[in-house]
Amino acid sequence: MEKQDLLFEGASKRLYSTGRPSIIVLEFTDEFPGSAASSKKGKFPGKGEINCGISSFLFQYLENYHVPTHFSERITPTEMTVRKLEMFKIIVHVHNIATANLAARFKLDDGRALDYPIIEYYLKAPRLGNPMVNETHALALGLAKKEDLRTISRIASKTNAILKSLFDRRGLVLLEFQLEIGSAGDHICIADEITPDNCRIWDRKTNRRLDQDRIHQDLGGVEKAYRELHDRLISAA
């Protein structure tokens, strides 16, 4: 399917229309999202291809377990066709292990296991710093209906269970991840991407970070880590 007009350009992704109104093309660029990361020269050749590969693989994997996603087909190394959705203005965060912002907020040791997964909702409003919202905020602000929130929470929990065990079988730990969710009519599904840009993933034996934190924490070896994650997930498939 041919891509047509550019609909949206972010740092790490571009969206294009196609000849079919219900389908768009999602292109992954070599940049890192967010100005903070980009200002640290967050870019390497081949990142778009790696992230498109990881996201395509994970979306198909989830679909095999009947978790609905927007994924249709990977059409080039850096592009996939996806279902065009009305996006909820909510970002869902799922935490299995305290790290990064969650560890800082509750003064928990980095890497401390949680007794139960935590699911948090954030308003997608970068100008407000994406504040955390709960179910009553979401209802009061018209961000989602009650039954939509129930579906979103079920999708997040199921995604977590499936991905956690997949990563575990690859000798990896899924500490936390973010999801964007959208709908086409009554059909609610995962949108955007699932990549090391919006997940935190460590090697189980060494706790080596194979994700965005190599940029945020200036750890170096970003490209190597992203390639390793891609290969460990996909070559073993």
Taking the least distance from each CB to ligand ADP, the nearer of 3 and 84 is 84
Residue 169 C-beta: closest distance to ligand ADP, Å: 28
User: Residue 88 is encoded by which pair of tokens?
Assistant: 């909820």
* C-alpha count within 13 angstroms, C-beta hemisphere, residue 30: 7
Can you state the percent helix, strand and coil of the chain, rounding each to 5?
35, 35, 30
Residue 182 C-beta: closest distance to ligand ADP, Å: 5
Taking the least distance from each CB to ligand ADP, the nearer of 24 and 97 is 24
Taking the least distance from each CB to ligand ADP, the nearer of 170 and 200 is 200
Taking the least distance from each CB to ligand ADP, the nearer of 55 and 98 is 55
d(CA 60, CA 73): 9
Taking the least distance from each CB to ligand ADP, the nearer of 98 and 192 is 192
User: Residue 187 is encoded by which pair of tokens?
Assistant: 């059909």
* C-alpha count within 13 angstroms, C-beta hemisphere, residue 173: 18
Residue 178 C-beta: closest distance to ligand ADP, Å: 10
Q: What residues pair up with 178 in beta bridges, in sequence order?
A: 93
Sign of the four-CA dihedral 98, 132, 181, 136: positive
Sign of the four-CA dihedral 223, 230, 189, 157: negative
Residue 233 C-beta: closest distance to ligand ADP, Å: 20
Residue 108 C-beta: closest distance to ligand ADP, Å: 28
Residues of this chain that interact with ligand ADP (CB under 6 A) are 8, 10-13, 15, 24, 33, 70, 82-85, 87, 180, 182, 191-192
Name the residue with the smallest CB distance to ligand ADP. Answer: 10
